[in-house]
Amino acid sequence: MNSFSIYQPTRIFFGADQLQPFAEASAKLGKHAFIVTGGGTVEKLGYLKDVSDALAAAGVTLSFFSGIEPNPESATINRAAAQLREDGADFIVALGGGSVMDASKAIAALVHAKEEDIWPFVLGEERAFQLNGAIPIVAIATTAATASEITQYAVISNRTVKGKSVLAAEFLKPAVCWLNPLYTIGLSPVTTRDGAADIMSHVFENYLLGGNDSPIADRYTEGVLETVMTSLPTVIENPADVAARGELLWASNLALNSYQLAGRKEAEFVLHSMEHALSGHLPDLAHGRGLATLYPAYFRWLVEKGRAIERLALLGERLFGLAGTELEMAQGFIVAFEDWLKENDLYQSLGDLGFSAQDYPAIAEYTVKVYGDGKQINALGPITVPEIVAIFEATERQSTAQG
């Protein structure tokens, strides 16, 4: 096992009965909360009233900002930061899915920096990594997907330049979060499926590329994957199954906290790099859907290049009970996992999602520019622009429009 250091400052409240202690803990961070929401769902379902009433009862003054879009826009973040300053709030409450939580982190950092535009500070731009703090953030996750309620990441889009990039800093980790499985019952089947694919990506990245130095991290990862693979069909069949919803919500959190990385070598998030470039080009694409589309083609590319074969084989053995040579089990895992994607309506090509082959070179170039060294990204060796294009093209065998 490799040496490691973990910083996990977020206090987590889990369960429907944890709203009052969550509100009381949040009230210790400031006197005036700026509540950030998305497209209106939390208002319609009564979640905003629940949270507002609890915070008010804890003595907190409230301001509100709604309208954070999926793949949150830098311009929206800029407007929200300006309103927060005008309202005089001193901490942020993010109430929504990953986009709302990511936007809230960016707002918090922008306000702290006393700047007006967040985009120059994202990875790949001229002022990247020059932010140095954020006002306090608390988060209430209403989707099982991103784990943004505990992470140091904020993913931001810019439709003007067709860009999608990240902020990453320890000070972006929320101080407090509340996970209430009941708040995920209203999710559509599509959003639930996309979220499950997102959860799995967070453990795939490190499991496949982080080496085999931490067997306990392997078992942790496999447990998260198995939980998602069994819980997703359950909640699709019975959306009100609170126990299964809770399993997915907690799996989401476990998939991207620091503990699943412990003892492993640091691995690049290759799937995320490619998908962020794709959904930067097509902003209405859900992150999880894009990731699910890349899985089979990326896994086959790894096998073709002789990379991570033993890791794919181990997944085949432990998740699907496969036996044989490493190569046979690796290939068998890809087929078995592909079948699971099909069974859960997560199987399609990039073409099915609205991309054309003419889009791929520019998207691949953006991938290596922002997430690599300008020529390649790394997955146990280089992935060049032509190879990224080849992975995108290879998804066409998955097209549901065929036949």
What CATH code is carried by the domain that includes residue 239? 1.20.1090.10
Report pLDDT digits (tens) over 19-50: 999 999 999 999 999 999 999 999 999 999 99
Question: Cα dist. 2→265, 339, 363 in Å?
Answer: 7, 35, 35
Q: What element of type H or E holds 333? A: helix 326-343
Among 139, 169, 184, residue at a domain's last position: 184
Check residue 403 and give its pLDDT: 46
Give CA torsion, residues 270, 95, 42, 180, to 10 deg. 90
The domain of 106 spans 11-184
Check residue 267 and give its pLDDT: 87
Establish if 5 belongs to a structural domain.
Answer: no
Give how many domains the chain has, as a whole number.
2
pTM of the predicted model, to two decimals? Answer: 0.96
Establish if 2 belongs to a structural domain.
Answer: no
Check residue 300 and give its pLDDT: 98
Establish if 356 belongs to a structural domain.
Answer: yes
Among 184, 212, 237, residue at a domain's last position: 184
Among 137, 155, 184, residue at a domain's last position: 184
In a shared domain, residues 24 and 63: yes
Q: Is 60 helix (H, G, I), strand (E, B) or coil?
A: coil
Nearest CA to 347 out of 336, 356, 360, 338 is that of: 338
Which residues does 162 contact at the CB level (< 8 Å), separation at least 6? Answer: 280, 281, 366
Chain mean pLDDT for the chain:
96
Residue ranges, the chain, pLDDT below 50: 403
Check residue 402 and give its pLDDT: 55
Q: What element of type H or E holds 20? A: helix 19-27
Report pLDDT digits (tens) over 120-156: 999 989 898 899 999 999 999 999 999 999 999 999 9
Check residue 261 and give its pLDDT: 86
The answer to whether the beta carbons of residues 97 and 143 sit under 8 Å apart is yes
In a shared domain, residues 132 and 198: no
In a shared domain, residues 171 and 63: yes
Nearest CA to 310 out of 199, 187, 169, 209 is that of: 209
Establish if 1 belongs to a structural domain.
Answer: no
Establish if 23 belongs to a structural domain.
Answer: yes
Q: Say which CATH number the domain at 121 has.
A: 3.40.50.1970
Check residue 401 and give its pLDDT: 78
In a shared domain, residues 251 and 153: no
